[in-house]
Amino acid sequence: MTTPPAGISEADWAATPVGVKAGFLELVSQCQRQQQEIEQLRIQLTALATELAHLRERIGRSSRNSSKPPSSDGQGFRPPERRKRGGQPGHPGSGPELLPIERVDEVVEHHPQACRRCGTLLQGQDPEPLRHQVIEIPPITPLVIEHRLHRLVCPCCSTSTCASLPAEVEVSHYGPRLSALVGLLGSAFPLSFSKTQALLDQLLGVQISRGAMATIRQRLSAALEQPMQEALAFARQQSVVYVDETGAPTGNADGGNPDGRRGWEWVMVTAMGVTVFLQSLSRSAAAAIDLLGNAFGGIVVSDRFSAYNHLPLEQRQLCWAHVIRDLTAIADRQGASGEIGAELLGLQQQLFAQWHRYKDGTIDWSTLQQGCRPIRQAFVGTLQRVVELGCQRGERTPWAKTVRTCHQLLQVSDGLWTFLEIEGIEPTNNAAERALRHSVIQRKISHGVQSRQGAICRSRLLTVTTSLRQQGRDIWQFLEQALIAHHRGGEMPSLLPNP
């Protein structure tokens, strides 16, 4: 090396003995190699720390900070109960309420024969006797009606003529009330085919094969087509709807799903007591449009799933329950992310404190808007501050995830506050999630349906069940009336609420 090292003059370097120069240069080279090794180790340590933080976040995911269902949390995530189950000390308790006398089939009077003290015979009536009712189920036997179609031969021309069934008689071997019960047990009470068979056999003494039950449900599906379309048209005309979707495995037994696609159950809930389920083989924007229609003009309350991005933000209310999960995930991280998450969660809690005061009537609409205005400004300002700090694109560090989440929220910020601009809108789509819970239970029990037509039948039965429950109407009676009207051509019952 002819050029002197940094910090040493050329004269001093020239006067330095060769052996000293060699030792010095070796020392410099060793320091450089060590520096390179330190830098490599630093990069590896950063990568390992990032991976560890990523794994810890994955392990710590629950329904609080992600989209995982509460059922996946496990026992350890449930807060310990502060009190024992059942009636608490001092609770007066309550027994079954007595039915009105109009519903009593038999009254048995019991009179004491003699005084319990002196034995004197007693007579008369107690104007207010103690009442004790026993409710019992009589033996249930199915009503079987046999129709005999006689074939007679004409004495004049020898032509044989066979009688035909009257129009009011079912062609099926199972009447409308029994058929409606089969549909009821597969929708309002989500039993599997085998359990439905066992219940009908044990309770009613009726034996039905799985194929016969499938045929009955297809007849029900055809009968419910008109009420389903009427309910869908009604829901599309509402000013506010709550929508969501969940997986619904669908087979290809009828050739309706040749590509073996998973299938999805979409739901649209209205405040007017009508909830519509729609089966689709995709989770795309096209499926969302099939549910909402091409010309939907109301407000859609949903999560931030991209299928709803065809709607302008002023026509959307994004679910705050999903936002809270994201903020909780940020707050669970270490360092600056945790601080930002805690700050955003604090603002969210202030926001919902105002909302709950409005819902319980403590404050009016204008006071709610005024009280939430500074909270909104602070929330959006915090998101902007995080995004301005930024991060290197593509990083997997906790801070990079925080910045990406804040950037995504900032992009759709206008859709977070619609419930403060238009009265009558809820800030979450919990109504749709609750409606889908029944479909999820059915999916877990049956592991899906085997055909496309079976999936459509399930959607129609879910629509009837959920809508009538919202309206407090009799589901069994509705299904029976729909089957009768479809078979005899009478007036079809409607799923729309009574005006």
Q: What is the pLDDT of residue 127?
A: 92
The DSSP letter of residue 201 is I
Q: State how far the Cα of 102 lies from the Cα of 83, in Å rounded to an integer.
A: 41
* Helices of type H across 335-417: 336-359, 365-389, 398-411
One-letter identity of residue 104: V
pLDDT in tens, 95-128: 678 999 999 999 999 999 999 999 899 999 999 9
Q: Which among 88, 384, 14, 220 has a CA at the least distance from the CA of 5?
A: 14
**Which residues have CB under 8 Å from 142's CB, separation 6+?**
178, 204, 205, 206
**Which residues have CB under 8 Å from 183's CB, separation 6+?**
216, 217, 220, 461, 479
325 in a domain, yes or no? Answer: yes
Q: Tell me which residue has tokens 């995080």.
A: 386
Q: State how far the Cα of 20 lies from the Cα of 9, in Å rounded to an integer.
A: 15
412 in a domain, yes or no? Answer: yes
One-letter identity of residue 467: S
Q: State how far the Cα of 327 lies from the Cα of 350, in Å rounded to an integer.
A: 14
434 in a domain, yes or no? Answer: no
Q: Which among 446, 463, 459, 450 has a CA at the least distance from the CA of 256?
A: 450
Give the pairing of strands 264-270 and 316-318: unpaired
Model confidence at 175: pLDDT above 70 = yes
Phi, psi of 162 (to 5 degrees): -105, 140
pLDDT in tens, 33-74: 888 888 888 878 877 777 776 677 677 666 665 565 565 555
366 in a domain, yes or no? Answer: yes
Q: Per the structure block, which two tokens stand in for 115?
A: 């005084």
Give the pLDDT band (50/70/90) at residue 327: very high
Task: Quickly count helices (H) and strands (E) in the chain.
Answer: 15, 7
Q: State how far the Cα of 256 lies from the Cα of 449, in Å rounded to an integer.
A: 12
Check: CB of residue 441 under 8 Å from CB of residue 190: yes
Long-range contacts of residues 207-210, Cβ cutoff 8 Å, at least 24 apart? 208/174, 208/182
What total of structural domains would you count in the chain? 1
- List C-alpha distances in Å: 185 to 139, 201, 386, 398: 20, 13, 53, 48
Give the pLDDT band (50/70/90) at residue 474: very high
385 in a domain, yes or no? Answer: yes
User: Mean pLDDT in the chain?
Assistant: 87
Q: What is the pLDDT of residue 177?
A: 93
pLDDT in tens, 373-399: 999 999 999 999 999 888 655 566 778
- pTM for the model stands at 0.80
326 in a domain, yes or no? Answer: yes
Q: State how far the Cα of 478 lies from the Cα of 273, in Å rounded to an integer.
A: 15
Q: State how far the Cα of 305 lies from the Cα of 290, in Å rounded to an integer.
A: 16
Q: Per the structure block, which two tokens stand in for 210?
A: 């799985």
> Domain residues for 330?
320-424
Q: Per the structure block, which two tokens stand in for 135?
A: 């409710």
Q: State how far the Cα of 310 lies from the Cα of 497, in Å rounded to an integer.
A: 30
| Count of Cβ atoms closer than 10 Å to residue 387 Cβ | 17
DSSP reduced 3-state for 16: coil
398 in a domain, yes or no? Answer: yes
DSSP reduced 3-state for 166: coil
Q: Per the structure block, which two tokens stand in for 44?
A: 């590896």
266 in a domain, yes or no? Answer: no
Q: What is the pLDDT of residue 71?
A: 56
Q: What is the pLDDT of residue 82?
A: 65
Burial of 478 from C-beta contacts in 10 A (0-12 / 13-18 / 19+):
buried
